[in-house]
């Protein structure tokens, strides 16, 4: 399976974001990609006011457009994430949808881990406008199981291990990593999640200025189960592609059967521990 990671510099201009995303999705499809991953908040990115104003339900124009692209091009698309508005939730969700080549939504994941941090002299409080999801989610594209995650999730290895144990062979990581954290952590974390779970990681990031006060790191990448970076994006909008060879995944798991050698009966989750 050839996969692609699309790298965008999204803004609050939703129409322009959709136009750019469509152009890059079509370009990736023309180069043979059959799984295309968009970045986090690819349809609207900005301050809390812009995110709130641009939020949509899953049947809104952004996901509807992606479903149309998938159906027309005959490709599966992980629609990165969008700020999702729902009558069932008081706040927004940061939501990723996996869409099959027939345009049908096969899985919906709502970001579990809220980006509430202080880094580079800036405070980020995702939970001011968004609420965390509660479910670990996979979806099947043809005969390949795909695990869904979003950005800050990358720092929580237990999520990735559960996805691996649920037979994910590819994990998608749409992201908008900050420049400060991305320089030191982005590649390390993506490669670690691929190595320790012996699967492919397709990580699609935002690049460039991200109003009101930070820059996105970019460097979208595709990593194989050995931790080899198969493709890395330059510092501009565009897309990268790589072939996911699942016989290589099976080979790695045969050589170093760390998943099979787990001893869950020996692991006791700490209780009452604070950090």
Q: What is the pLDDT along the chain (275 residues), one digit of tens a residue?
A: 999 999 999 999 999 999 999 999 999 999 999 999 999 999 999 988 999 999 999 999 999 999 999 999 999 999 999 999 998 888 999 999 999 999 999 999 999 999 999 888 888 889 999 999 999 999 999 999 999 999 999 999 999 999 999 999 999 999 999 999 999 999 999 999 999 999 999 999 999 998 777 899 999 999 999 999 999 999 999 999 999 999 999 999 999 999 999 999 999 888 887 77
Q: Are 153 and 112 in contact (CB under 8 A)?
A: yes
On whether residue 265 sits in a domain, the answer given is: no
Q: Tell me, what CATH number does 116's domain have?
A: 3.60.110.10
On whether residue 206 sits in a domain, the answer given is: yes
On whether residue 234 sits in a domain, the answer given is: yes
65 burial class (0-12, 13-18, 19+ CB within 10 angstroms)? middle
Q: Are 151 and 210 in contact (CB under 8 A)?
A: no
On whether residue 158 sits in a domain, the answer given is: yes
Q: Is 111 assigned a catalytic role? A: yes
On whether residue 261 sits in a domain, the answer given is: no
Cβ-Cβ contacts under 8 Å for 5 (sequence gap 6 or more)? 37, 202, 203, 204, 205, 220, 221, 222, 231, 233, 239, 240
pTM over 0.95: yes
111, 126, 130, 237: the catalytic one is 111
14, 56, 126, 151: the catalytic one is 151
On whether residue 267 sits in a domain, the answer given is: no
On whether residue 258 sits in a domain, the answer given is: no
Q: Is 40 assigned a catalytic role? A: yes
40, 56, 84, 126: the catalytic one is 40
| CA 92 to chain centroid | 18
Structural domain count of the chain: 1
Best CA proximity match to 5, nearest among 30, 45, 33: 33
**What six digits make up the tokens of 102?**
């027939």
Cβ-Cβ contacts under 8 Å for 47 (sequence gap 6 or more)? 211, 212
Range of the domain at 9: 2-253
Q: Is 78 assigned a catalytic role? A: no
Q: Are 29 and 75 in contact (CB under 8 A)?
A: yes
On whether residue 13 sits in a domain, the answer given is: yes
């Amino acid at each position: 399976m050839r996969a692609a990671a699309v790298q965008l510099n999204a803004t609050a201009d939703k129409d322009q974001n959709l136009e750019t995303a469509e152009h890059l999705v079509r370009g990736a499809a023309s180069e043979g990609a059959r799984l295309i991953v968009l970045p986090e908040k690819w349809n609207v990115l900005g301050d809390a006011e812009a995110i709130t104003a641009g939020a949509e339900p899953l049947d809104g124009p952004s996901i509807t457009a992606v479903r149309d692209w998938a159906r027309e091009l005959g490709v599966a698309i992980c629609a990165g994430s969008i700020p999702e508005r729902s009558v069932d939730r008081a706040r927004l969700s940061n939501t990723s949808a996996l869409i099959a080549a027939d345009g049908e939504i096969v899985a919906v994941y709502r970001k579990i881990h809220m980006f509430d941090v202080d880094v580079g002299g800036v405070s980020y409080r995702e939970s001011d406008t968004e609420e965390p999801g509660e479910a670990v989610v996979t979806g099947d594209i043809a005969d390949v199981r795909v695990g869904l995650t979003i950005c800050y999730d990358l720092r929580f290895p237990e999520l990735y291990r559960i996805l691996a144990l649920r037979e994910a062979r590819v994990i998608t990581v749409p992201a908008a990593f900050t420049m400060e954290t991305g320089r030191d952590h982005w590649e390390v974390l993506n490669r670690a999640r691929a190595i320790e779970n012996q699967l492919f990681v397709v990580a699609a990031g935002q690049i460039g200025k991200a109003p009101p006060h930070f820059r996105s790191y970019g460097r979208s990448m595709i990593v194989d189960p050995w931790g080899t970076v198969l493709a890395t994006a330059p510092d501009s909008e565009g897309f990268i592609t790589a072939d996911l060879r699942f016989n290589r995944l099976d080979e790695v798991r045969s050589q170093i059967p760390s998943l099979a050698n787990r001893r869950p009966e020996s692991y006791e989750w700490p209780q009452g521990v604070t950090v």
